[in-house]
Amino acid sequence: MFASTSRRGYSKLRRLLHPNSLSVACGIQLPIVVILISCSTANSQWISDPAVDARLLRGIDYIYNIEFEKADREFDQVIRLQSDHPAGYFFRAMTQWWRILSDFENESHDKKFYEMLETVIEMCERRLEENENDVTALFFKGGAVGFRGRLRANRGAWLGAANDGMTALPAVRKAHELEPENFDVLLGIGIYNYYAEVIPGQYPIVKPLMLFFPSGDRKKGLEQLLLASQKAKYAKTEATYFLLQSYFTYEKQYLKALEIARELHAKYPRNPLFHRIYGRCYVSLGNWGEASRLFAEVEERFREKQPGYDVYDGREAYYYLGKFHFLSGRLNEALQSLYKCDELSRKLDKEGASGFMSMSNLTIGLIYDLQKRRASAVAQYRKVLDMKEFENTHKDARRFIEHPYTRN
């Protein structure tokens, strides 16, 4: 399946899959088939006890707000009270998933996560042996297999990830056929419909994988995501997040994205993912004042080591703060932020320069030119040419080697 994919293609795909990839814009929620169904298949409406159901909802909110110990306690109680139901086991695994996302370069959490997912898969398969139309079992099996594929893709295990995608998708589709009015299930179908059309056009490296999957429907998928964000019970936040990503990254409807980002950040103020994309919305709308305020908060939380705010969050904050200072004419402050962005990039960019590294180094060159440090500026531009190109970094570097950068 992967024989025709180059090593360079693997590298590009892995960068796309990273939860903090600049090109993805939202970090965890990642555009490839093995994860198109992973975030929504986990949300069931088949806990009959209202008290247990309330624990699930509280636990889910704790996860999104990066309060993992509180979430674990809620799900432990769900497992104690409903030991034969996969919900508590699955959401306990989701707490572990967010632990991974909060410290992504640390792979020590992976083994436990896989084991927790395997428990869910085995439980669901036993239920399906008794009843092949057990929607709850289909739901949670699809979710567990989908998240396993998601992490495998993040870690570069491409074949295993693709196989997981081919296992998870039929479970989701069957659950939708059995419960077409279930808005939590609808999220999975909406995610698949939208991204199965959008992603191959955006990233041709994915096209060979899509030969093994049904075609998508961008318009229908967006409508399904919107409906799920309004009416789903357990999947409401996930649906809202995917709708935000769609509006921001692919539809370029930044005002709509801003409204959603503001809502998510207000509800989950400790979540760095929602925090950062809220800032990016303001960047895309040209409101650098609000953007700088938000990224200053991100930078402070990174420095203070607040749970969830890791080096990727810090790097992004330093980049946008540097750009804000540069545009405001505070060149020394801009340099200090961009130097820190570059420093963190050199720790993180193990497979070649990221967009953050290329863009920050190019901007440093522009500042040197403005400071009449021409030799340093030229050296900086040549450094950019040695990095992987991001957007027009090479073209701009060559242009400013020939003619110094000046403000118009």
Q: What is the CATH number of domain 274-402?
A: 1.25.40.10
pLDDT of residue 46: 67
User: Closest by alpha carbon to 216, among 153, 159, 173?
Assistant: 173
Q: What is the pLDDT of residues 57-67, one digit of tens each?
A: 999 999 999 99
pLDDT at 276 over 60: yes
3-state helix, strand, coil in the chain (%, to 5): 75, 0, 25
pLDDT at 13 over 70: no
Measure the CA–CA gap between 72 and 92, rounded to whole angstroms: 6
CA angle 282/286/290 to nearest 5° reads 45
pLDDT at 400 over 70: yes
- Measured from the Cβ of residue 58, the count of other Cβ atoms closer than 10 Å reads 16
User: Closest by alpha carbon to 183, among 37, 29, 43?
Assistant: 43
Measure the CA–CA gap between 82 and 229, rounded to whole angstroms: 27
Q: What is the pLDDT of residues 131-161, one digit of tens each?
A: 999 988 998 898 899 889 889 888 888 788 8
Residues spanned by CATH 1.25.40.10 within the chain? 274-402
Q: What is the topology classification, in CATH, of domain 7-251?
A: 1.25.40
Tokens of 347: 């720790």
Measure the CA–CA gap between 171 and 192, rounded to whole angstroms: 13
Measure the CA–CA gap between 328 and 332, rounded to whole angstroms: 11
> Please, which pLDDT band fits residue 83 given cuts at 50, 70 and 90?
very high
The answer to whether the pTM exceeds 0.95 is no
pLDDT at 8 over 70: no
